Amino acid sequence: PSMHAIVAVDIDEVEKGYEYFERSIRIDLGENLKSSWDGLHAASLGGNWQAVVNGFGGIRITNDEKLRINPHLPEKWKRLRFKIKWQNEEYCVDITRNTITIKALSSMRQPLSFEIFSKEYLLHPKQLLKVAY
């Protein structure tokens, strides 16, 4: 169900994607905890992470190897914050209903180009990038 969540978000069916996401997280975190008595389902947990970051967070890598962020938060969510590692640097991405904030958590050697809703932005070392959308 986690991959279905990503595809649903990609075709602008965000709430349907959220339904798939909820089904997916219930595999290990739901009412039927017997399903994980013999251990957690690592692939399922990884898929859930991908549904959050790649689906609702909209993180993708473009053909020219830029980081693209086109978030689509479900109605029930006001905010989504996560860390990613890209090109040997660590970043915190903080998404609200109307802003995306990106902060480098490691010392950047050079500016990093991001694409947010088809517009290019540069994050410079020791700066915070905040974009309204």
Class of the 61-133 domain?
mainly beta
**Res 31: pLDDT:** 66
Total count of residues recorded for the chain: 133
Encode the chain (133 residues) as per-residue pLDDT tens digits. 999 999 999 999 999 999 999 999 988 776 665 555 566 667 888 999 999 999 999 999 999 999 999 999 999 999 999 999 999 999 999 999 999 999 999 888 889 999 999 999 999 988 999 999 9
Cα dihedral value 44, 74, 70, 63, nearest 10: 30
**Res 44: pLDDT:** 82
Of 46, 61, 59, the closest CA to residue 3 belongs to 46
**Res 36: pLDDT:** 56
**Res 30: pLDDT:** 62
The full set of domain ranges for the chain reads 1-56, 61-133
Please name the residue that has the structure tokens 């830029």.
66
What is the 3 state secondary structure string of 69-114?
Answer: ECCCCCCCCCEEEEEEEECCEEEEEEEECCEEEEEECCCCCCCEEE
**Res 35: pLDDT:** 58
